[in-house]
Amino acid sequence: MRSLIKLAAICAALGGAVFWWLTAPPALLPVYGQGHDADVTRGAQIFTAAGCASCHSAPNAEGNDAKLVLAGGHSFASDFGTFYAPNISPGDQGIGGWSLPEFARAVTKGVSPEGRHYYPAFPYTSYQHMDETDVADLFAYMQTLPPSDTASQRHDVGFPFNIRRGLGLWKLVFMKPDYLLAGPLSPELERGRYLVETLSHCAECHTPRNALGGLDRTAWLAGAPNPSGKGEIPNITSGGLDWSEEDLIYYFESGLTPDYDSVGGSMAAVVSNLAQLPESDRAAIAAYLKAVPAAP
């Protein structure tokens, strides 16, 4: 009996050690974006394509200037609890004082400067593919934005999802390191893939999730229930959307569908961002959506 207890204790300790080892956040890269002169203008465009302000501005912010104060506070309901977008302005409550390697690890690995895992409500599973130079430019641009002293709100997440270390396991299982649309691709499709799968993180809403919140990559962009509980987020593969590439490009620019209904809800903010990108980027996204496997 005593040896059985001993065995159980050893197994538990071993299991704990393995869990600890598996879920350890990746270390900081000491060198990042070396030899690159950060370009603030390019950074502004990355910021727009990535839709940072759509989630991180204050919920009641209206107008372009107000939306650049990244005070946080938008709430995101989910099956696991409610997440609140944090302050990411360049002030004490936000990312003021962060180094570029800390910022890069946060954005592309989902780990805070203190070494804690972020919840994947922050789309780092998409941002993981961001180019080093893009991250560096984005970081430089964000330093130019006005600081906000609004404190970030705590997420309202219950047990066991409130154990951050568990997110390390989640990442091991669900943070797939490869693109869904496999190469070789034309330069336009490559750009489209970078925009759709990385910067604009379209799959985060348009792809259904499993019971643990991982994306179901077999139904890529095939539509999903709206986490708000009302309505559906549409299938945007050619299996669900019969718009031409011109229709898509026009929609990204004007917000008007081929039958002259208009964009609404959360997608309205996305279209506001896409409308500010170069025409070639909107065309690249449209080309990607035509190339991605059609889902029923």
Residue 190 or 253 having the CB closest to another protein = 253
Q: Which C-beta is closer to another protein: that of 213 or that of 227?
A: 227
Residues with Cβ within 8 Å of residue 225, at least 6 apart in sequence: 208, 232, 233
Tell me the closest approach of the beta carbon of residue 57 to another protein, in angstroms: 14
Residues 176-235 that bind another protein (CB under 8 A): 226, 228, 230-234
CB-nearer residue toward another protein: 218 or 254: 254
Please say which residue, 103 or 252, places its beta carbon nearer to another protein.
Answer: 252
Nearest to 53 by CA among 69, 73, 38: 69
CB of 280 to another protein, least distance (A): 19
CB of 79 to another protein, least distance (A): 17
Residue 136 or 224 having the CB closest to another protein: 224
* Subset of 276-295 contacting another protein (CB under 8 A): none
For residues 162 and 82, give the distance between their C-alpha atoms in angstroms, rounded to a whole number.
Answer: 11
Number of H helices, E strands in the chain: 12, 5
Tell which one of 20, 254, 279, 294 touches another protein (CB under 8 A): 254
Residue 155 in contact with residue 81, Cβ under 8 Å? yes
State yes or no: cis peptide before 120, omega within 30 of 0.
no
Residue 262 found at the interface with another protein (CB under 8 A): yes
Answer yes or no whether residue 255 interacts with another protein by CB under 8 A. Answer: yes
Q: Give dist(CA 220, CA 182) in Å, integer.
A: 13
According to DSSP H, which parts of the chain are helical?
A: 2-22, 40-50, 52-56, 100-109, 124-127, 132-143, 166-174, 187-193, 203-206, 245-254, 265-274, 279-291
Residue of 204, 250, 276, 293 that binds another protein (CB under 8 A) = 250
Is 28 or 269 the residue whose CB approaches another protein more closely? Answer: 269
Count the alpha carbons within 13 Å of 265 in the hemisphere toward its beta carbon: 11
Single out the residue of 114, 116, 75, 117 nearest to residue 97, CA to CA.
114
Number of residues lying near another protein (CB under 8 A): 23
**Residue type (1 letter), 140:** A
Stretch that binds another protein, among 83-91, 126-134, 140-148, 268-276 (CB under 8 A): 268-276
User: Which among 69-77, 98-106, 204-212, 262-270 is the span making contact with another protein, rule CB under 8 A?
Assistant: 262-270
> By the criterion CB under 8 A, which residues form the site for another protein?
226, 228, 230-234, 246, 250, 254-256, 259-265, 268-269, 271-272
